[in-house]
Amino acid sequence: MSTTTTVTRERKQTVAPDLDSQIAKLDRHGLLFGQKLTASMSPLLHDVVYRELGLNWEQLRLDSTDMDLFLRLIRHPKFYGASITMPHKVAIIPHLDELTEECRDVGACNTLFLRHLPDGRRIFCGANTDVIGIRESFVQNVSDPSVYENRPAMVIGGGGAARSAIYAIHKWLKATCIYVVSRDKSEITAVVAECSRRSYGARLVHVETVEQAEALEGPGAIVSCIPDFPPVSEGEKVLRRIIEVMLRKEKKGALLEMCYNPSPYTALGALAESEGWQVILGTEALIWQGIEQDKYWTGRDSSELPVSQVKKAIAARLAQISRQ
C-alpha cells in the first residue's frame, strides 16, 4: 500500500514537494506528524511564538502514515521537535528513549522533544502536553473553581484524548469521581483497565444507561472528546441521551469541547450552552498545550512566551471560521 505524504507551510498553505528546500531557509525546524492536518492551527500557533521571539524556526506539516519516514526525518541536525497527532500518539512511544511522567501514565505522546547528552548525542523524549491543555482550559477560563472542584466530572469518549482528560481531571481538578461514557462499551472497558494499571482506575464510573445517568449527581466539569457528528447508531443515540440527562441536571458547570477541527462550534457545545453551561472551546486546550510544547522546544518559561499574541492569532482564525 502506498503512503501519501504532504508537507505544507502555514503561511502559504501550499504543498511543498521538496522538504529540504524548506529546511534550508530555516535555522531550526519542527514537524506536525499525523493525518488530516490541513485545518490544524498548530503551525500557526508556533509560528507566532517563533516570530515574537525572533527565531527563524518553523513547524512543517507532515501529513503521513509513514512512521519510518518520520523517524528518518527527526535525525536531521536542524530538527528541534514535533507535535504528534492521530493516529500516531500511541504508536510513537516504542521509538522514544525517554518519557515524561504524564506521557507514561496516559500512555499517549503528543510532543517529541530532544535532550542533549554531554557527548553530543541526542535523546528523543516523549511528553503529553494535552493534559496541560485540558487543565489550563478550566483553570484559565472558569473564574470560580468550586464550579468543578469536589464534584463528579465526566469524560465523553474512549480514545487518546479521553485518556488525557481523565488523567488531567484525576491529577488536578479535584473531582470526587469521573464518569466515563462512550458509544462503545469495549472502549470504556479498555480505558478503565489501563487507568487501573496506572493506579487511578478506581475513580472511574462507567455510565451505560439513561436510567443510571438520571440517578447520579451531576458533573461539574465535562470534557467531550468525540467528533461533531449527529448520532446515528443505537450506541450513539444512547450516548447522546446520557449527555442530555447530565446537561439538564439542576446544578450546572463547565464543558470543554475538545473537537475544533474543522470548527470548534459544535452541536454538543450549542446544546450545553442552551442548558446554561459554560462552554470552553477546544482551541483553548490547543493554546495551552502548544505553549507547553514551546517550553520544551525553546527552553523558555511560559512567562517568556507570547501567550497574548498567540491568543489573538487563534481568535482571528476563529473569527474567519465563524464567518464561513
pLDDT, position 9: 45
pLDDT tens readout for residues 22-35: 888 999 999 999 98
CATH number of 19-128: 3.40.50.10860
Mean pLDDT of 27-46: 93
- Cα 75-80-86 angle, rounded to 5 deg: 85
Q: Which residues contact 121 (CB under 8 A, 6 or more apart)?
A: none
Residue pair 192/206 in contact (Cβ under 8 Å)? The answer is: yes
- Residue 116 carries which DSSP code? E
From first CA to last CA, the distance across the chain in angstroms is 36
Alpha-carbon distances of 272 from 85, 174, 230, 307, rounded to whole Å: 27, 22, 15, 28
| DSSP E strands, the chain | 28-34, 57-63, 79-84, 98-99, 111-116, 122-127, 153-156, 178-181, 204-206, 221-224, 254-257, 278-281
Q: Is the dihedral of CA 61, 63, 67, 73 positive or negative?
A: negative
Separation between Cα atoms, residue 218 and residue 154, nearest integer Å = 9
| Domain 19-128 shares a fold with domain 132-283 | yes
Residue ranges of domains in the chain: 19-128, 132-283
CA 97 to chain centre: 22
Rg of the chain (C-alpha set): 20
pLDDT digits (tens, 9 = 90+) for 186-242: 999 999 998 998 888 889 999 999 999 999 999 999 999 998 899 999 999 999 999
Q: Per-residue confidence at 15, pLDDT binned at 50, 70, 90? A: very low
68-123 residue pLDDT tens? 999 999 999 999 999 999 889 989 999 999 999 999 999 889 999 999 999 989 99
pTM of structure: 0.89
The CATH code that applies to domain 132-283 is 3.40.50.720
pLDDT > 90? residue 18:
no
CB neighbour list of residue 101: distance below 8 Å, 6 or more residues apart = none
How many CA atoms, within 13 angstroms, populate the side-chain half-sphere of residue 111?
28
Q: What is the rounded average pLDDT of the residues 142-152?
A: 97
Contact 165, 258 (CB under 8 A): yes
For the chain, what is the mean pLDDT? 91
Residue with cell 502536553: 129
- Beta strand 178-181 pairing with 204-206: parallel
Look at strands 122-127 and 111-116 and give their pairing.
antiparallel
